[in-house]
A and B are shown apart, each in its own frame.
Chain A
Amino acid sequence: MTRVAVISLDEAIAEYVFDGATVAFEGFSHLIPFAAAHETIRQRRKNLTLVRMTPDLIYDQMIGMGCAQRLVFSYAGNPGVGLLRRLRDAVENSWPNAVEICEHSHAALANAYVAAASGLPLMIFRGYRGVDLPRFNPEIGKVSCPFSGEELAAVRAINPDVTIIHAQRADRSGNVLVEGIIGMQKEAVLAARHAIVTVEEIVDDLAAHANACVLPHWILDALCVVPGGAHPSYAQGYYRRDNAAYREWDSIAADRHRFQEWMNENVLEQDHTVFASRAIASREGHD
């Protein structure tokens, strides 16, 4: 196995995220890799299949900027605030382009990552009974238990071309520690052909206990140091969730013109180094 390359975020996105790729930017409300998404938007990637359990603001922004052709997800809300208005505009009005949706429940999408991480073509679970979604999603099937005959739901594995996550820190060998709400980061990395990790910092010693969520350097492709890279979500131990930014997003995303102005000013005309100061501002705002 080759050692992970410590490179800049723009290099990592340029190398691994290609037009038409299936990309998972994971992180369950915590450690959402916003800096990497903004770099992908700046590099004008198109026709991506975006996979994420909770599209959150990160995919609202990518969809609104025309990066997405297809969206695989299991809960499309702005947590604690309401709906995702750019996603809705794409689904309801095809703006800026039509986006095909592949919708799951959380249990199903989690199992789809587990299947891929396990090297299996599908995962079975007890779910989707009596409900409407299987009629609209061909990635959902049924199997009979060969031992009991019980009918179970099946979900096709999801193997992203690239998974991108944000984590607290890496050591000098490139081993990564993820702490707190770990969501589906490990499964999404193991499910993917390539993995990019952005971290808050590189340290001499991870100080990880024996059962911690550690991703060894040899399963990762690119490691980028991007302090604040999860803002406006949070990095436990570093900075808190910027709830004001999540609320403000609702009005920014409500209007196409205001959205575009905001993206110009805060994404297209910036680079990833701006995230460090945003996280500091967020931390101070809460202390």
Chain B
Amino acid sequence: MTDYTPVEMMTVAASRVLSSTDVCFAGVGPPSEACNLARVLHAPDITLIYESGTIGARPCVLPLSVGDGELCETALNTVSVAEMFRYWLQGGNISIGFLGAAQIDRFGNINTTVIGDYRKPRVRLPGGGGAPEIAGSCDQVYIIVRQSTRGFVETLDFVTTYGHGKGGSSRQDVGFSTAGPTLLFTDLGIWAPDPETRELTVVSMHAGVSRDQMAATVGWPIRYADHVEETPIPSGKELEMLRDLHARTCAAHQIHK
């Protein structure tokens, strides 16, 4: 099957790395979408955790907010937000934090706070929410975001969520013992940190994507792995399940596209 969008490719690629043994803290939007696609495709026993306190949520439709009733109704258990952040997250019980981003830099640091100066912002974004501590306390972090020159910037306007800092050993130097961002999924490819410099490096490009396209959507000179793979295109089953999930979600939330 070849009829798919770059965003569908992004979601499918992200879903493939998740498995039934993962305990995954899912941000709402594209991260939650990839996690639930994995759950209905090949990871039926994945534990999905949302910051509203729901543990083991199995939503039939994608949540519009982290606090949707669907998450609580399908979860194994729902705890308070304080318990979620203190015991389950900070206590070291979550293997993957799956985040989105407004701005990201080459070391996987994320800005979701402001565009411009913090005290006099050009655009006031929502802020950190759970992300700063999710990125600190989960064993590793996956990020999913579409590439654009506005989003993939040389220098962040604000560091909301720490990734690999300025690269090298910076993450350990500021006191983290967790791995931080290990995979970045975009509409054009898959990135992973270089083992030494920790700079995000392109390890796979989606079918039909050129290096010119990559360069035109990223605000820094891109580094490529020695062997850049081509991401396998979505299977018929993957696309069918993703589109079913979308159709159910739109019907439930009365969204008319």
Task: List chain A positions with a Cβ less than 8 A from chain B.
Answer: 28-30, 53-54, 73-77, 79-81, 83-84, 87-88, 91-92, 103-107, 110-111, 113-114, 125-133, 136, 150-151, 180-184, 186-187, 213, 234, 236, 240-241, 243-244, 246-247, 285-286
| CB closest chain-B residue, reference A236 | B69
Residues of A with C-beta under 8 A to B137: 126
Q: A91-B124, A132-B158, A181-B53 are in contact. Are A114 and B82 (CB under 8 A)?
A: yes
Which of the candidate stretches B83-91, B209-217, B223-231 sits at the interface with the other chain? B83-91
Partner of A106, one of B54, B130, B175: B130
Any chain A CB within 8 A of the CB of B67? yes
Which of the candidate stretches B12-20, B113-121, B145-153 sits at the interface with the other chain? B113-121
Compute how far the CA of A150 lies from the CA of B125 in the bound complex, rounded to whole angstroms: 32
Q: A28-B67, A106-B85, A240-B69 are in contact. Are A92 and B124 (CB under 8 A)?
A: yes
Residues of A with C-beta under 8 A to B63: 80
CB proximity of B179 to chain A, nearest CB, Å: 14
Q: Is the CB of B126 within 8 A of A110?
A: no
* Count of residues in B whose CB is under 8 Å from the partner chain: 58
User: Does more than half of chain A's interface fall in helix, strand or loop, or is it mixed?
Assistant: loop
Any chain A CB within 8 A of the CB of B176? yes
CB proximity of B159 to chain A, nearest CB, Å: 5
For the A-B complex with A181-B52, A183-B80 known, give 7 more contacts whose Cβ atoms are closer than 8 Å. A80-B29, A92-B124, A105-B131, A107-B85, A125-B86, A133-B128, A180-B72
Any chain A CB within 8 A of the CB of B68? yes
Residues of B with C-beta under 8 A to A53: 81
Compute how far the CA of A65 lies from the CA of B106 in the bound complex, rounded to whole angstroms: 42
Q: A87-B124, A106-B128, A184-B81 are in contact. Are A79 and B52 (CB under 8 A)?
A: no
Selected A-B contacts with CB under 8 Å, 9 pairs: A28-B67, A29-B65, A29-B67, A30-B69, A54-B129, A104-B128, A107-B133, A132-B160, A150-B175
Compute how far the CA of A195 lies from the CA of B75 in the bound complex, rounded to whole angstroms: 30
Partner of A187, one of B51, B69, B80: B80
Q: A103-B127, A105-B131, A133-B128 are in contact. Are A29 and B81 (CB under 8 A)?
A: no
Residues of A with C-beta under 8 A to B1: none
Any chain A CB within 8 A of the CB of B41? no
User: Does more than half of chain B's interface fall in helix, strand or loop, or is it mixed?
Assistant: loop
Chain B contacts with A in 58-81, Cβ cutoff 8 A: 63-69, 71-73, 78-81
Q: Is the CB of B67 within 8 A of A181?
A: yes
Compute how far the CA of A25 lies from the CA of B224 in the bound complex, rounded to whole angstroms: 49
Q: Is the CB of B86 within 8 A of A110?
A: yes
Q: Is the CB of B66 within 8 A of A79?
A: yes
Enumerate the 5 nearest inter-chain pairs by beta-carbon distance, A residue then B residue, closest first: A29-B67, A79-B65, A80-B64, A77-B126, A75-B129
Partner of A186, one of B80, B158, B254: B80
Residues of B with C-beta under 8 A to A88: 123-124
Residues of B with C-beta under 8 A to A244: 254
Residues of A with C-beta under 8 A to B160: 131-133
Residues of A with C-beta under 8 A to B122: 92
Any chain A CB within 8 A of the CB of B182? no
Any chain A CB within 8 A of the CB of B161? yes
Chain B contacts with A in 159-185, Cβ cutoff 8 A: 159-162, 165, 170-171, 174-176
Q: Is the CB of A30 within 8 A of B67?
A: yes
Residues of B with C-beta under 8 A to A150: 175
Any chain A CB within 8 A of the CB of B253? yes
Compute how far the CA of A73 lies from the CA of B126 in the bound complex, rounded to whole angstroms: 10
Compute how far the CA of A246 lies from the CA of B161 in the bound complex, rounded to whole angstroms: 27
Compute how far the CA of A77 lies from the CA of B126 in the bound complex, rounded to whole angstroms: 5
Partner of A126, one of B64, B69, B136, B171: B136
Which of B29, B80, B123 has the most CB atoms of chain A within a 10 A radius of its CB? B80
